[in-house]
Amino acid sequence: MSLAIRCHLSPNHDDRGGKAIRQLILHYTGMKTGAEAEARLADPEARVSAHYLLHEDGGIVQMVPEELRAWHAGRSRWRGRDDLNGSSIGIELVNPGHEWGYRPFAEAQMRQLLRLVADLSVRHGIDRAEVIGHSDVAPTRKNDPGELFDWGRLARHGLALARPARLLTDPLWSDSAFALALERFGYDVGDLKAATIAFQRRFRQKDVAGVIDGETRAILFTLQVHEEARLRAGGENR
Catalytic residue among 45, 67, 92, 183: 92
Burial (Cβ within 10 Å: 0-12, 13-18, ≥19) of residue 108: middle
Is the CB of residue 181 less than 8 Å from the CB of residue 189? no
In three state form, how does the secondary structure of the chain look? CCCCEEECCCCCEEECCCCCCCEEEEEECCCCCHHHHHHHHCCCCCCCCCCEEECCCCCEEECCCCCEEECCCCCCEECCEECHHHHEEEEEECCCHHHHCCCCCCHHHHHHHHHHHHHHHHHHCCCHHHEEEHHHHCCCCCCCCCCCCCHHHHHHCCCCCCCCCCCCCCCCCCHHHHHHHHHHHCCCCCCHHHHHHHHHHHHCCCCCCCCCCHHHHHHHHHHHHHHHHHHHCCCCCC
Residue 92 bears catalytic tag: yes
Active site residues: 92
